[in-house]
Every structure is written in structure tokens, then in C-alpha cells.
Structure 1
Amino acid sequence: MLVPLVVGVDGSESSLEAVDWAVDEAARHAVPLHLMHAAAPGQDASGPITAASQRAGGGAAGVPLSSKVLRDDAASALVGEGHKAFALVLGSSGLGELSGLLLGSVSLAVAARADCPVIVVRGSQEHRAGRFGSVVVGVEDGEGSDTAVEFALREAHIRRCELVAVHAWSAPLGALSEPLPGSWYALEAHRRPPAQVLDDALRGPAKQYPDTTVTRRVIEGPARRALLGAAAEADLLVVGAGARHGRPGLQLGLINHALLHHAPCPVVVVPQK
């Protein structure tokens, strides 16, 4: 049985835009689409599900569609559905008491707790419609990006578009700005040259998709600025998130928080496995 792509809906235009995006994504991956709405006990929950079902029905043909209403808070309901989901898809703003705060509350809470990829659909119609032909993935030094790179390569492959792998780096204060042999990298054995970080991260996953074009970008400067700049001409921005030490959930970090709030295109947070 195929695991579904799950969309959280609340009746807002933002969540309906997420449904539009999710229909296309489900069709690309040939997985069912599952609409989920969380409502308080006694609250009429038919409206958001009906609107979302009608919207999904007008999208890509052939996508199996189901829906569910859970009497729970939105974040907990979505995290629970994520245990058996291909990914969770959310809009970037919502209705009701969370109006204008969905990203700051529900989406961030879900992204920090879910054990499957979480996709926040944001940005202009041009970015949501996949018109740039590019998927961007952020690659950090270490193992925190492995699963994100695999996810991003699969997305680029199935979309038949380019993958842009971005690694941002900063030299220690007073060091050479160019990572030359024998420079400060030789003094910091735990650090790899920026180009090697990308090569190491891409080597294994790229073998699975040899026909996918991969562009490497090594950018000196803050990762936030580098990734937002690359996302300006992307259909999707993919980042990883590692587990918290000694606590359940994921460590999103300041960079991922900034991207979820400000990226010009849909953002995927992929838990590191």
C-alpha cells in the first residue's frame, strides 16, 4: 500500500494553494493525496474539507483522494499523520485564532516534530508552479544534509530539472578568504574544504540519478543569504534537520527558521535519518 502525501487544510486560501501544489506533487510521485483537517470537539469541520476536496478534484487526474477530520490540535494531528506519510504539506498562513501565525505556530511545530519531510508551500505562483526548472538543496559540513540531498535529488530527477547544491562557508576571523592548501583548513582537521563538502555529500546519491544535472555552488558568506539567493530562481528549497540532543524532535536552527519565514519558494525540511 502506497503511503499518502498528507495536506493540512483549514479553509484558508493559503491551505488551498497548498492543496494545488500537493495535487501536482502526488501526481509526480504516483502516491495518494490525503486531506486532513483538525477541529475542536463540536466544531463544524465540513467546510474546509469540502473546499479542499473540490479544489483537489479540479487538479491532476488520476490522483487517489481521501480526507479525514481529527479532533485534536493541528500540530499534534499532523505529526501523528506524518508517521505514515510520504510527506506533510502545509500552507504558509491560516484562519481563526491562528490567523497570520500558522507558520510561526503550527508549521514550525510540525517541522520540529515530524518524522517525515514537511513542506511549507509559500512564494509566488511562478515559484509554486515549477516554472524555474531548479531544485535547491542546502548542504552543511557534517552528516546533517545526507537525507536532504537524497530527497532533493529524487525531486530534481522526477521533475526532470536541475539540482543546485549550495554550501556556504565562512573563514575564521583573520584567515585567508580563499581556502587554499596549507591555509587555515590544515590547522582545523575537523573541517573540509568547501568544494569537498559538496563532493562528499553528492557522491553517493548522485549515482542513483546519473541523468540529473547537478550544479555545485560554494558561496562565502552566511548560509541564510546564500540559500535565499539561490531560492529566488528555484521551484523548491530543501534543507535538512538533525535530531535534538537528549530531547525528542528536530533541531531546526536559526537558518531553517529564517528560510521557513522568508523563502520565495516552497520549502522542505527533511529529518536526518
Structure 2
Amino acid sequence: MELPLVVGVDGSESSLGAVDWAVDEAARHGVPLRLVYASLWERYEGEGFSHSVDRPAEQVLADNIVGTAAERAHRRDPDVKVSTEVMPQEAVTALLTEGHNAFAVVTGSRGRGDLAGLLLGSVSLAVASRAHCPVIVVRGDDAALSGSHRRILLGVDEAARGTSALDFAFREAQARRCTLDAVRAWRCPAHETTDHSLLTGDAAKFHEMRAATALDEALGKAVEDHPDVLVRRTTLEGPARKVLLERSAAADLLIVGAQRRQGHFVLQLGRIAHAALHHAACPVAVVPQRV
């Protein structure tokens, strides 16, 4: 059974943009699309309208939202299989539930109920923080949303923290037939106090070399498993979140891992993923790292 690509819809422009992006993604990977709208009208109004001839206004709204989204998806690519569901739950709960059996969950960066000053919608942030599957928050300009950069950006952390984000990134690059830009940031402490033999010369060079070695080690098996993916390896000095945000302007998708705390059912997003979700210039995929 093929796991669907789940999209949270609510009628907002942001969610409709997410539908467009998700249709293209579903077509690339050959998976069905599932459009989900969370509505609590049944819980609060169901009994009162059980004997009424007229449908509740909230039910009409819910049906119109998923119907419009499904029609939009069909117009964009008639070959993508689409299903819809109105779930009597809170939006976060509904999407987390769907995420247990999903290829990935896709959301817009803002919802209908979010305040104008927010950089990222509360639903998108909560789902990205807690989902058991990859979560993609669709944001960015037309070039990023259309995939015209032909580049996937992957932030590579310690190799020991799991390979889920790596595997996801290579599958994306392979499906898109584009370059995978694997980046590892490094820092040189202002006052180095180690007696390591390589630090007798240029301390910055030592840290750069160490970052390059770590990057090679992290990519090793994934590169072997995907020989047809063109990988560009880059090490850059600076805070990782700053480096990735700057390079996201020339990427179609930024992929970051989120490590799960041992014994907990929530994800530790960390500063890098949090910054990417709020400020990246392209869609962001947060991938749970299973360690």
C-alpha cells in the first residue's frame, strides 16, 4: 500500500499554495494525495442538527474547502490520485494522526486563523515539532515553489544523529533529477586553547578540514546507494542557521533533521530547524531523526 502525501487545507491562500506544491511532489514520487480539513462542527453542532433538513453552515464550509482544494489539484495534474477527508478534530491533532501513515505531511506557512504578525502559523509549527513523519512547510517565492533552482539544500549535522534526513534528501534529489547541495557549517573559536598538532599552523584550516571529514563520513553510504545523484559538498564558516538561510535563496527545498528525545513523543526542533521554518526562502522539510 502506497502511503499518501497528506496536505492540511483550510481555504487560505497559503494552504492552496501548499496544495499546488504537493500535487507536483506527489507526481514526482508516484504517491496519492490526501487533502485533510479539520473541523469541529460535528462535535459542537452534530446533535442539534441531527434532525434538521438544512446542513450546518460549518459543514457546508468544510465540504467547500476540501472540494475546492480537490478540484484545484485535479486541474494541476489529472493523473494524481486525490482523496479528501473532513476530520472532526483540532487541526494539529488531525494532521498528527494522519502523519502516522503518510509519506509526508504538507502545510502552508500560514493558516486562516493566524495573526498577521506571525512569521509561521501555529498549526504548521506544532505539526513540524511533533509529527512521526517528514513535515514540509511550503514557503518562499515563485522560483523556489516552481523548482526552477534545480537544487535541494541539506543541512548536515553529526553523522551519529541518524540518517533519516539524508535518505529523504537523496530521494528528493533523485526524484527531481537535480543537485543535492550538502552543507556543513563550522566555527573557529575566537580563543583556541588546545594543543592539537594540527593547530600549530592555521586553526581555521583545522576546523574546516574537520568539517569536511565529518561531511564525507555522513554522506558516505547514501552516496553509494544513490550513484546517480549529483552531490555538491560544501563547508562554510559561520552559524549553521545563518549559512542555511542564506543558501536557501537558491534552493527549491531545504531539508533539516529534528532529533527525537529519548523516551519522549515530541521532537526537539533545535535552533536550526526553528529558524528555517520561520525564515527560509524556500519550502522546508523537517525530518525526524530516528536514533
The alignment's TM-score, normalised by the length of structure 2, stands at 0.86
- Tell me whether 1:255 sits opposite 2:255 in the alignment: no
Asked if the contact 2:119–2:278 (Cα under 8 Å) also holds between the matched residues in 1, the reply is: no
2:198 equivalent among 175, 179, 182: 182
Asked if the contact 2:177–2:229 (Cα under 8 Å) also holds between the matched residues in 1, the reply is: yes
Q: Distance in 2 between matches of 1:114 and 1:90?
A: 12
Q: Distance in 1 between matches of 2:282 and 2:22?
A: 14
After TM superposition, give the deviation of residue 182 of structure 1 in Å: 2.2
Asked if the contact 2:140–2:281 (Cα under 8 Å) also holds between the matched residues in 1, the reply is: yes
Q: Distance in 2 between matches of 1:266 and 1:257?
A: 13
After TM superposition, give the deviation of residue 238 of structure 1 in Å: 0.3
In structure 1, what is the equivalent of residue 224 of structure 2? 207
1:58 equivalent among 59, 75, 83: 75
Asked if the contact 1:5–1:33 (Cα under 8 Å) also holds between the matched residues in 2, the reply is: yes
Q: Distance in 1 between matches of 2:95 and 2:121?
A: 15
Q: Distance in 2 between matches of 1:212 and 1:181?
A: 37
Q: 1:57 to 1:195 in 2, by over 3 A?
A: same
Q: Distance in 2 between matches of 1:150 and 1:171?
A: 29
Q: Distance in 2 between matches of 1:102 and 1:175?
A: 37
Q: Distance in 2 between matches of 1:87 and 1:246?
A: 23
The alignment's TM-score, normalised by the length of structure 1, stands at 0.91
Q: How high is the sequence identity, in percent, across the aligned residues?
A: 52
**Post-superposition CA distance 1:94-134 (Å, at most 9, x none):** 113x3445934111111111010000000011100000000
Asked if the contact 2:39–2:91 (Cα under 8 Å) also holds between the matched residues in 1, the reply is: yes
Asked if the contact 1:145–1:239 (Cα under 8 Å) also holds between the matched residues in 2, the reply is: no
Q: Distance in 2 between matches of 1:215 and 1:114?
A: 29
1:79 equivalent among 96, 107, 110: 96
After TM superposition, list the pairs within 5 Å mapping 1:212-231 onto structure 2.
212-231=229-248
**Post-superposition CA distance 1:184-233 (Å, at most 9, x none):** 9x9xxxxx810011101110011121111101110111011110111110
Asked if the contact 1:145–1:201 (Cα under 8 Å) also holds between the matched residues in 2, the reply is: no
Of residues 135-144 and 251-260 in structure 1, the stretch that sits farther from structure 2 once superposed is 135-144
After TM superposition, list the pairs within 5 Å mapping 1:1-273 onto structure 2.
1-41=1-41, 42=45, 43-44=58-59, 45-96=62-113, 98-100=114-116, 101=118, 103-144=120-161, 146-175=163-192, 182-183=198-199, 193-273=210-290
Q: Distance in 2 between matches of 1:145 and 1:119?
A: 19
Structure 1 counterpart of 2:6, which letter? V
Equivalent pairs, count = 265
The secondary structure found in structure 2 opposite 1:36 is strand
Asked if the contact 1:144–1:241 (Cα under 8 Å) also holds between the matched residues in 2, the reply is: no
After TM superposition, give the deviation of residue 183 of structure 1 in Å: 2.5
Structure 2 counterpart of 1:219, which letter? L
**Post-superposition CA distance 1:57-99 (Å, at most 9, x none):** 1112311110001111101100000000000000011113x34
Q: Distance in 2 between matches of 1:151 and 1:253?
A: 19
After TM superposition, give the deviation of residue 175 of structure 1 in Å: 2.5
After TM superposition, give the deviation of residue 144 of structure 1 in Å: 2.9
Where structure 2 has 5 or more consecutive residues not aligned to the other structure, the ranges are 46-57, 204-208
Where structure 1 has 5 or more consecutive residues not aligned to the other structure, the ranges are 187-191
Q: 1:266 to 1:13 in 2, by over 3 A?
A: same
Asked if the contact 2:260–2:288 (Cα under 8 Å) also holds between the matched residues in 1, the reply is: yes
Q: Distance in 2 between matches of 1:99 and 1:32?
A: 32
